[in-house]
Amino acid sequence: MEEKSKKDHRVLLNQGEENELEVFGYQTQNLRRAFCLVVSVLTCGVLLLVFYWRPQWSVWASCVPCPLEEADTILLRTTDEFQRYIRKKVMCLHLSALKFPISKNPEQPLVADSHSVINQAVLKPELKLRCIQVQKIRYVWDNVEKSFQKVGLLADSYSCYDIHHMFGLGLTNEEQEVRRLVCGPNAIEVEIQPVWKLLIKQVLNPFYVFQAFTLTLWLSQGYIPYSVAIIIMSVLSIVLSVYDLRQQSVKLHNLVEAHNKVQVKIIVKDKGMQELESRLLVPGDVLILPGKFSLPCDAVLIDGSCVVNESMLTGESIPVTKTPLPRVGDSMPWKSHGEEDYRKHVLFCGTEVIQVKPPGQGPVRAVVLQTGYNTAKGDLVRSILYPRPLNFKLYSDAFKFIVFLACLGLVGFFYALGVYVYHGVSPGETAAMALLLLTVTVPPVLPAALTTGIMYAQKRLAKKKIFCISPQRINMCGQINLVCFDKTGTLTEDGLDLWGTVPTADNCFQAVHSFTSGKALAWSPLCAAMASCHSLILLDGAIQGDPLDLKMFEGTAWIMEDHNVDYCDFRTSDSNIIIKPGPKASWSPVEAITVLRQFPFSSSLQRMSVVAQLAGEGHFHVYMKGAPEMLAKFCRSETVPKNFPQELRNYTVQGFRVIALAHKALSMGKLSEVESLSREKVESELTFLGLLIMENRLKKQTRPVLKELNEARIRTVMVTGDNLQTAITVAKNSEMIPPGSQVILVEANEPEESVPASVTWQLVENQDSGPGINETYINIGNSSVPAGEKGSCYHFAMSGRSYQALFQHFNSLLPKILVNGTIFARMSPGQKSSLVEEFQKLNYYVGMCGDGANDCGALKMAHAGISLSEQEASVASPFTSKTANIECVPQLIKEGRAALVSSFGVFKYLTMYGMIQFIGTALLYWQLQLFGNYQYIMQDIAITLMVCLTNIFSLLLISALGITVFIFFSDFQDIYQGMELIPTITSWRVSILVATLIQFCVAFFVEDALLQNRELWLLIKKTFGFYSKSQYRNWQKKLAEDSTWPPTNRTDYSGDGKNGFYVNRGYESPEQIPKGKLGWGGQTTEQHFWTRL
């Protein structure tokens, strides 16, 4: 019973997501609450201040644990390493407030979908539901599942059939009202924080509270000039902070406010079309897309198609074509329907619809999926409002040292009590002086000074056109030791140049057509595929779209026109675009082509296809383009040349971008049949047409930057969606893989029937096949990495498919591969994010540099994401460079290191200053003396402020030293009296100066000769066996001692020890391997597997 009670008291919110939270239920007790109120009054509000800093203590003090079903107060705790707490009150929404009668019958659902969380959340006959609001998202209590569920979105469990038939006709007015009350408004509202609220938040910061306490003590002791100076500094600091926060709040508010007031048209069930304000939209509404339109919500397209500009999400202004959700009758969730990428059906909030293509006579329609902060744009705004905290060692160590200083201050407190009691001083003055010594150890300017290096670094980065939206990450850049690079547009030129085509005929490759020859491409199915199989659109008379598609289309010398009545042979709507030969095109028997249906390109599918009609023909054609390895799978085997792998390798090893094209004719003659075709039906039994070869040159900055990073011992990794062979060649040409290094290809396969998951290791070798050509081939013999060349001279390369198989079936092997993994090709956006996370688990500080299109997830996941976008700031990335090459990476790391060294130096300087002042004050206490007002002003303001002026720090320090020595030996009584100094005899002063000089020399020697002596510390570490605790260092050490690593030219299989499958001994420690397996001896891996079978 007790276990059940504990389970009811705690549940997980957003399980498995990045913002996962633990939820605990509490019930307020009036007696406890009254007791807390009394204690708060007695402590003059100190308890309330503590509760403000620690909300969990407030809940524990005034509430008792209870089942969540009965809770009126909710305590939420993050499941990350920071374990932060949030307190929330449970709110009740009453449906009786609606203007129409609602049935109180528990059997009658409130909304059409009987499985909706709304039906399960409303209590009948009370007609109320309980909810909480966490980080702008509303959650309601599900009385069936006994947990809090997110509202403001349609569940992912709906099938395509459900969306079309349950929501396709719209919602009734009554259901809309219920959903509006429960889900809240469809608005991304960023409140402009009032100045008084920002002021209170700043003043209640623990640092300023401590400072207020300190100043009260100083004023009580008559240190008025010093206290006034500190008060002026503090007020200026608070005013500047409030001003900055207010400006940020206003900018963010203005950024999102325009999208909250869009007039939209929706379809109301049984009533037809209705116009309303976008903030009244609810999930399930049917939205009409009129044309150019800014989307106020996330919606799934159900009728027609449209072209969308998603630059707000991706940072690239490339038009994206969206297609309607297929009308299928299965019960499979709509997002996982077939193998298709669901995003091609989804219109995201904040993106711009720039063109619509209605289906016949009806309008383009979409069903609202998510509203408000549940949308893609809402999620981005929430990531700005509630950024993920950074676990940075400098800050955690600094906090620990400040705690040590506070403990030292506590020792001083008791020391002062003892001294003043011993001298018979009054209790009041004794307490004041003891508290005074308690506050001396922590310098009041320490937190502000720690951000000085960051502030200067941010200014310098802005001059270099590198913009930052998360300044705290600048310090983290100083520790980056691994950088992941996208290839296309990052390491190589963004634009592609056409090199040639390699057509096929009679199952053989034909002569290459070179575009540099100046001859027009002759008419053929290959030419038709290049002219029609793309996502280009005609907008205001200009062709727009993906640069690759644009280059390919330009190579045909065909042109695009709007639909014209002259082409009456086409049975199409007016929204279709006509493609016809241009003036420079070669002769063609076809007057024009029109694209009737498009299956857009997806990075996860690695292909796209279109259904087109040639003028004058009564049937239709399918044209397809994509990654050669992928496209060949959809072609009839007899049409694919036998030397296809070798021909493909010939071009990819030279760094060319290769695209394959295919075609088939459709026997059907009705347009309605084309519109109902599934992608699986279209993309099958095709005829292989040939290869399109495109040149992708390295940027001139790539090789020197990679060399600089390598010399700085910073690892570089390529993460690309391109071909694996192309990636290996680019890595070698850019010297990411140094000359003479070995490349081992890792190919992992999913389990099939009785064959378990396998991983094959193949050594890739170089062979000169002619002048100027460095050809790569895969050796299948018995060679291995020479024993003398082990260590960091080998690099693993793999595809996204292999990475996924390793992740799922060889998870314990993955870290061993990652410490020497350099090339990851054919990686989907999700796999890129996963790879960055796996590197972070090995304790790497990871930087990610990409073009911002398919790299958004990885850019957000990395410690420092750098987007090479043209926009001044990208929401997806902490850093954005307006210079579109990787020179920004070493610049950012340098500035990060400068900021990190500055922060560390400032911290050492100020903490040592605090300890010196503490010891000096403690010595004076023995004589019942104190430093004078002007001494404190000189120390705390003149000296400590110098660290904030880093450009002229040395000059100011020398000036301060000169002034101090002058005052020390001047013997001007007026100066001594004015500054409240008591002069000592000259010999004492000389002794102090000599001692100071000796201390300076010793400190300088210790700092430079010992603390900064890298060779000495490496020798000490080696002598005493101290090694890095980083996971990747430990793996490198283990693998260097492993004689079986790296494996080459063999295949290993997964297994659990029960089914007899072989598990390679090199992957697990002897303790983990059953004794039976240890006795298998020296047979080959393949023999183990087939023998056991």
Instruction: Please state, in angstroms and rounded to a whole number, the distance separating the CA atoms of residues 1067 and 1035.
Output: 12
Instruction: Please state, in angstroms and rounded to a whole number, the distance separating the CA atoms of residues 349 and 368.
Output: 10
Q: Are 763 and 796 in contact (CB under 8 A)?
A: no
Which residue of the set 486, 851, 855, 940 is catalytic? 486
What is the 8-class DSSP label of residue 1007?
I
Q: How far does CA 759 lie from the centroid of its chain? A: 30
Residue 1040 parent element (H or E): helix 1031-1041
Instruction: Please state, in angstroms and rounded to a whole number, the distance separating the CA atoms of residues 301 and 214.
Output: 63
Instruction: Please state, in angstroms and rounded to a whole number, the distance separating the CA atoms of residues 999 and 562.
Output: 83
Backbone angles phi, psi at 169, to 5 degrees: -95, 0
| CA 505 vs CA 510, 659, 837: distances in Å | 7, 17, 46
Nearest to 330 by CA among 165, 159, 156, 164: 159
Q: Are 810 and 828 in contact (CB under 8 A)?
A: no
CA dihedral 263, 872, 388, 74 (to 10 degrees): -20
Backbone angles phi, psi at 107, to 5 degrees: -80, -20
Q: Are 902 and 453 in contact (CB under 8 A)?
A: yes
Helices (H), 495-625: 525-532, 547-556
| CA 519 vs CA 116, 379, 516, 555, 590: distances in Å | 62, 51, 8, 10, 19
| CA 640 vs CA 256, 277, 621, 826: distances in Å | 52, 55, 19, 22
Instruction: Please state, in angstroms and rounded to a whole number, the distance separating the CA atoms of residues 758 and 1054.
Output: 6
Backbone angles phi, psi at 168, to 5 degrees: -60, -25
Instruction: Please state, in angstroms and rounded to a whole number, the distance separating the CA atoms of residues 308 and 329.
Output: 28
Q: Token pair of 965, please?
A: 């020595």
Q: Are 250 and 139 in contact (CB under 8 A)?
A: no
Please confirm, yes or no, whether 285 is among the known catalytic residues. Answer: no
Instruction: Please state, in angstroms and rounded to a whole number, the distance separating the CA atoms of residues 415 and 376.
Output: 59
Nearest 5°: the CA angle 504, 506, 509 is 30
Residue 892 CB contacts under 8 Å (≥ 6 apart), including other chains: 461, 466, 477, 847, 864, 866, 879
Instruction: Please state, in angstroms and rounded to a whole number, the distance separating the CA atoms of residues 801 and 757.
Output: 12
Q: Token pair of 1044, please?
A: 């079986």
Nearest 5°: the CA angle 710, 712, 714 is 60
What is the 8-class DSSP label of residue 951?
G
Q: Are 667 and 642 in contact (CB under 8 A)?
A: no
Helices (H), 259-351: 311-314
Residues annotated as part of the active site: 486
